[in-house]
Structure 1
Amino acid sequence: MRLISYIFAANAVSAEDVTIYDVVIEQGRVIDPASGTNEVMNIGIVDGSIVTLNNDKLVGEKVIDAQDKVVAPGFIDLHSHTPFSFGESLQLRDGVTTPLDLEAGAYPVTDYGMFIRDKARANYGASVGFYAARIKVIEDRDQSYIVTEQGAHPFAGPAFTQQATPEQIEELKQHLIDGINQGGIGIGLPLDYMTEAISDEELNMVFKLAKDLNVPLFAHIRRGVNGDIGPLNDVLKLSQKYGTALHLCHINANAMGNIGNWLAAIDEANEKGANVTVEAFPYTAGSTSISADVFGRDWQEIFDISYGDVQWAATGEFLTKETFEQKHREEPGGMVIHHYMKEEWLETALTYPGMIVSSDAMPTLNANVKANPNGAGSFTRLLTHYVRDTKLLSLEQAIAMSSYYPARLIEEAAPAFKRKGRIQEGADADLLVFDLDNLSSNAAYMDPFAPATGWDYILVNGVVVLDGDKLTKERPGQFILSTHP
C-alpha cells in the first residue's frame, strides 16, 4: 500500500492523500456469511488482508472488475487427503483455498504437507493423526501420514487390530499432547479403520483428552449394518459425558438411509450437553482403501451392495468377486469407490442446519492413478447442482457451509481461522470471484480429474492464484498450525 499526495490549486494550499491498495476488487456482490453482508461493495487488500470494504472509489496496483459477480470467502475443506501439488491444484480450481486433513491427520504434525512445503498455492494443515500415533506406540515405527509420493499405505497391521495395554494408552496420550503442541488442529480419529482394536478405556481417554485440551475430535465412527445408529449413540454418549467437541466426518456415508434418525439423535444429544457438528460430501459414492477394516468384515450387508457396485479407482473398472479378492490380497494399498448412497439421503443431510460441506478427497499424486471425483468437483457441484439447478440450497447457505461454518468450528483450536471464512476488515484475503451461471463441475467417476471451470478469480492471502481458469505462478499458501495466532 502506498500513500500519494495530490496537490490541488496553484498555491498548494490543500492536499489529499490517496491510498493505493495492493489489490482492489470493484463492484462485486459481497457475501459474508459471518455478518450477513450481501451487497455490492469495493474491497481493498493490503499485505494479504482485507483492510477496507465500502462503496468509495478505491485505487489499486491491481484492480479486479467484479461487476455482476459474486465475491465469497475462499472455501475451507476440513476433510481432504491430498497434500500434493496435483491434488492441490484440482481443489484450488474447485474454490478451496484451505484444504485440511482433520480426519486422518498426521503425526508428527510437522510432517504434513512436506511435498508442497514452500511451494503451495493454497493454505493447508492437519490434525494430530491418532492412527499415526498408534502406529508409533503399537508397532514402534514412524508412518506420519496415510500416503507418500510412492502411494497409499494399507490400513493393516497391529496398530489397526491390536488393543493397547494401559501403559501404551498412556504413551499414546502423550503423543497426542505432543501433536497438539506441534500445531495439530484437533485430533483425527479414524475409528472405523481400527474397529476392534480400540478399547473403551482408550476411547474414553481420547474424548477426555480432547476436552481437556479444548480441541475438536474429528471422527470417522464405526460402521454398523446399513446405517445402524448404535455406533453413533456410542460417541454421542462420550461427547455428552465429557463435553467434547465432536465432529462427525461424512455423516451421509455412515448414516445412509437412516440419516433422518441420525440427525435427530444428534439434536437430542446436543440438547443434553453434547457438542456435535457434522459434515457431508455432495456425492453418492464413498471411497477408501480396499484394506479398510470394513472390507474384512460383512461389507456387503453393511453397505447393502455387492462386488459389482465397487470400482477399482485406478482404472475405473467395476469388480467381480474374483477381481475384488485378488485386489484385496495383492494390492492392499489400492483405493476403491463403492456406490451405495441415494440422492434423497444426501439432500436430507445438506439441508440440516449447520451442516458443513467437505470433499473427502482421496490422495491424488498425479493424473496417472485415478481417484474419486470429490477432490476436483465437490464445492463447484454444491453451487451448480444444489444451488443453481435444483435450488435445494440458497447461494448464501452454500457459501456458509463451505467457508464460515468450518472456520467457526476450528477457530478456538486454531486462532488463524478467526480471520478466514469471512469478508470483513482484518480478515485474510482468501477470496472467490465468480458468476454462478458460468460455473461447471466437470469431474465424474470415470473422469475424476476434469477440473471445475468458470471461476473468474481466486485469491489466497491476497494473491491471485487462479485467473480465468488458469493457475498463476504465485505460491502464497501457508502451513496453518494451531499454534499460529
Structure 2
Amino acid sequence: MNAATTLLILLALMPFTASNLFAAEYDLVIANGRVIDPETSFDQIVYVGINDGSISAVSEQPLRGTKIIDAAGLVVAPGFIDVHSHTPTLLGQRLNLLDGITTQLDLEAGSFPVTFYGEHFRAGAQINYGSSVGHWAVRTKVIEGRSMPYIFAGKDVLKMNGATWLQTATEAQIEQMRLLLNQGLDQGGLGIGVLLDYMTKAVSDAELRMLFEVASAREVPLYIHVRRGHTGDPAGLIEVIDLATETGAALFVCHITHNAMGRIGDWLQMIDEANRAGANITTETLSYAAGGTSISADVFRRRDWRSIFDISYEDVQWVATGEWLTKETWEKYATEQPGGIVNHHYVKEDWVETALQWPGMMVSTDALPAIDINLPTNPNVAGTFSRVLGHYVRDRKVLDLNEALAKLSLYQAQWMEQASPAFKKKGRIQQGADADIVIFDPQTVAANAVYGDPYLKPTGIIHVLVAGTQVVRHAQSVEEQSPGIKILGPQKLSF
C-alpha cells in the first residue's frame, strides 16, 4: 500500500480535524496494534479510539483514553461473526468469545416464535445473537399442532422422528406455514432457515417453492441444508439453485463442504455460474472435519448413510462419551437415546482447503449445543475460528491473513445486510463501526479443542470486545457486563 493510498484511507476512517482528534479522550484506546480492516484492505500499526460502543477514530498518532489496551505485536481485527451456530447458551457464549466470536447466529435451524430465541440470555448476553425463522418449527406447529420453538427449549430436546419430519403437507397446511413464516419475519427473524435434508421425503416441491416465494417477497435470505445425495451428488444443490434463479430469492447453502464432499469444486462452480447469470447465492465451510447431528436424523434412519458418507459404524463417535461405535452400539443408542448426538468423521482436509480458497467463502462453526461442561459436544464451539488462523493461515498457508479475516467477519456482515441493517456496522474496523473487536497474536493463535476434548480454549486470542466492552482480557473471560444484543430484522409489518 503506497503512502497516498494510506493517507486517503485514514482520512476516510477519521473525519476529524487533527486538533479535535488528538485532544479528545476516548472511553478506550487500542494502542500500537496492527489494525486490519478487510473491507478497505487497510493494514497498518495505528491507534483505535472507542466511544459509546463504536469506533470513533483510527489514527497514526497516539490517542488518549480512559482505558488503554496495549496491542503491540498483535493484530486488531473485526470480531468474528458466526452465521451457523446452535448454541445460544451461557457456556456456548463463553467458548465462542474465547475464540474471538462476537456475533453468534442460528440461521440454519432458526426458531419460531423468534421472540423465544435467546432463552439462556434473558438476564443479559455478552455476545450478539439472533436467529432466522425456523421452517421446521413452523412445520411442527402446523403438522403436529404443538410448539417447539427451538432445538432445545427448557428440558425439551428436539427429536427428528415425528410427523414434522415425515409427513407431506397439504395445500392448506402449506398456506398456513406461509402465514406463520411471515409472522416470524415480522418478529425480526433474520431470514428463513430450512433443515431440508432432515425432512427430505416430507417436503414437497410446492412447499419448497413456497419458502422461496416468501423469502423473495420479503427480500430476506434462505439458509438451507440441501437434500443430500450419494457421495456429493449435486441434485440437491441444483434443486435450490433453480428455485433461487426463478424466484430471485437470496440463497445461503449451509456447510457446502460436508454436502459436496469430493465434488466441492463442481458445486462451487455451479454457484459461480448461477451468480454470473444473476442469482444471489453464497455458502460456508467449517474448519473441523466431521459432521455432527442427531442419531435420529433422516439420513441415518431412512437412507444408506454408510454409502452416502463412504464410512462405517467405526467412523462414528457417540458424543456424550467419545466412544467409537460398532453396529451393536449404534443400534442400541439409536433405539434407547434417539435424541443423542453423533460425530461422523468423513470430511477430507483437501475438501476444506478447496472451499476456503473460494472467493466470498464464509467460515462457520455449526456448533452443537454446549449446555454443561460435563456434557461433551463437538470442538467447533471452541476452536473453529482460531483453527483457521493457526492451521490454514499460518501453518498451511492456504489463505493470507487479510483474506482469512474477510472470511471470518466481513463477508458475513455484507451478506447479512440483506437481513438486518445492523450488519452495516459490523465486520469492519472503521470510524462509525461497532466496536466488536478481536485482538490476537498471529504467531501463536491456534485451536486446542479436539473431538473427545471439545472445551479447550484456543491459544493466542488475547482480547475481545463487544460494543467496546472487554469480554475477554488476556485470554480470560470477563463476566462483569453484558454488552451483547439480540439482532433483529427490519420487522416489516406488511403481511
TM-score, normalised to structure 2's length?
Answer: 0.93
DSSP-derived class of the 2:408 partner = helix
Superimposed CA distance per residue, residues 343-374 of structure 1 (whole angstroms, 9 cap, x where no aligned partner): 11111111111100001000110111111110
Cα distance in 2 for partners of 1:17, 1:430 equals: 23
SS at the partner of 1:436? coil
CA distance in 2, matches of 1:242, 1:397: 32
8 Å CA contact 2:440, 2:461 repeated in 1? yes
1:302 equivalent to 2:314? Answer no
* Matched letter for residue 456 of structure 1: I
Letter in 1 for 2:281: V
Matched, 1:113 2:118: yes
2:12 alignment counterpart? none
8 A contact 2:292–2:343 mirrored in 1: yes
Choose the corresponding residue for 1:396, options 399, 402, 413. 402
Whole-angstrom CA distance in 2 between matches of 1:115 and 1:446: 25
Could you say which residue in structure 2 is the equivalent of 1:362? 368
Say if 2:443 is the partner of 1:458.
Answer: no
Deviation at 1:440, TM superposition (A): 2.5
CA contact (8 A) 2:22 2:63 kept: no
For residue 261 of structure 2, the aligned residue among 249, 256, 262 is 256
Specify which of 290, 297, 310 is matched with residue 292 of structure 1: 297
Taking the TM superposition and a 5 Å limit, the aligned residue runs for 1:420-431 are 420-431=426-437
Give the whole-Å Cα distance in 1 for the aligned partners of 2:284 and 2:22.
48
Alignment: residue pair count: 472
**Aligned residue identity for 1:316:** G
Contact map agreement 2:21 2:57 (CA 8 A) in 1: no
Checking the alignment, whether the CA contact within 8 Å between 1:26 and 1:64 is kept in structure 2 is yes
Deviation at 1:398, TM superposition (A): 0.9
Unaligned 5+ runs, structure 1: 1-14
8 Å CA contact 1:49, 1:429 repeated in 2? yes
Q: 1:48 corresponds to which residue?
A: 53
Contact persistence 1:93–1:453 (CA under 8 A): no
Q: Distance in 1 between matches of 2:433 and 2:472?
A: 20
Shift of 1:35: 1.5
Per-residue CA deviation, residues 330-355 of structure 1 (Å, 9 max, x unaligned), is 11110000001111111111111110
Listed one character per residue, the Cα deviations across residues 15-37 of structure 1 (whole Å, up to 9, x for unaligned) are: 99932111011121111111211
Asked if residue 39 in structure 1 is aligned to residue 44 in structure 2, the reply is: yes
Deviation at 1:149, TM superposition (A): 4.7
Q: Does 1:410 align with 2:413?
A: no
Q: Which residue of 1 aligns with 2:219?
A: 214
Question: What is the letter of the counterpart of residue 370 of structure 1?
Answer: P
Q: Which amino acid aligns with 1:274?
A: A
Render the CA deviation track for 1:165-205: whole Å, top value 9, x for unaligned: 11111110011101111010010011001001100001011
Q: Per-residue CA shift, 1:448-482, capped at 9, x if unaligned?
A: 11111322210000000000111112221111111
Report whether the alignment pairs 1:386 with 2:392: yes
Confirm or deny that 1:271 pairs with 2:266. no
**Greater than 6 Å deviation, 4+ residue runs:** none
Q: 1:199 aligns with which of 199, 204, 207?
A: 204
The 2-side partners of 1:379 and 1:438 are apart by 14
1:83 matches 2:88 = yes
In the alignment, the residues of structure 2 paired with residue 172 and residue 151 of structure 1 have an alpha-carbon distance, to the nearest angstrom, of 23
SS at structure 1 position matched to 2:390: helix
Moved more, 473-482 or 218-227: 473-482
> What amino acid maps onto 1:444 in structure 2?
V
User: Could you tell me how far 1:119 is from its partner in structure 2?
Assistant: 2.4
Equivalents in 1 of 2:215, 2:418: separation in Å? 13
Q: 1:432 corresponds to which residue?
A: 438
Return the alpha-carbon distance in structure 2 between the equivalents of residues 43 and 145 of structure 1: 39
In the TM superposition, 1:155-166 aligns within 5 A as: 155-166=160-171
Give SS of 1:381's match.
helix
1:375 correspondence with 2:381:
yes
Asked if structure 1 preserves the Cα contact closer than 8 Å seen for 2:390 and 2:444, the reply is no
- Match of 1:383, SS state, is helix
Between 474-483 and 161-170, report the one with greater CA deviation. 474-483
Counterpart-to-counterpart distance in 2, 1:463 and 1:207: 39
Does residue 1:61 correspond to 2:66, yes or no?
yes
Q: Distance in 2 between matches of 1:464 and 1:453?
A: 18
Contact 1:315 1:370 survives alignment (8 Å): yes
Give the secondary structure class of the aligned counterpart of 1:437.
coil
Structure 2, gaps ≥5 residues long:
1-19
Deviation at 1:412, TM superposition (A): 2.5
Shift in alpha-carbon separation, 1:298–1:55, aligned structure 2, 3 A? same
Q: Which amino acid aligns with 1:430?
A: D
Does residue 351 of structure 1 match 2:357? yes
- Would you say the 8 A contact 2:22–2:64 is kept in 1? no
Answering whether residue 469 of structure 2 is matched by residue 477 of structure 1, we say no
Aligned ranges for residues 98-109 of structure 1 at < 5 Å?
98-109=103-114
- Report the residue type matching 1:480 in the other structure: I
- Separation in 2 of the partners of 1:196 and 1:17? 64
Correspondence 1:228 to 2:237: no
Q: Deviations over 1:73-109 (max 9, x none)?
A: 0000000000000111111111100010000000001
Q: SS in structure 2 opposite 1:34?
A: coil
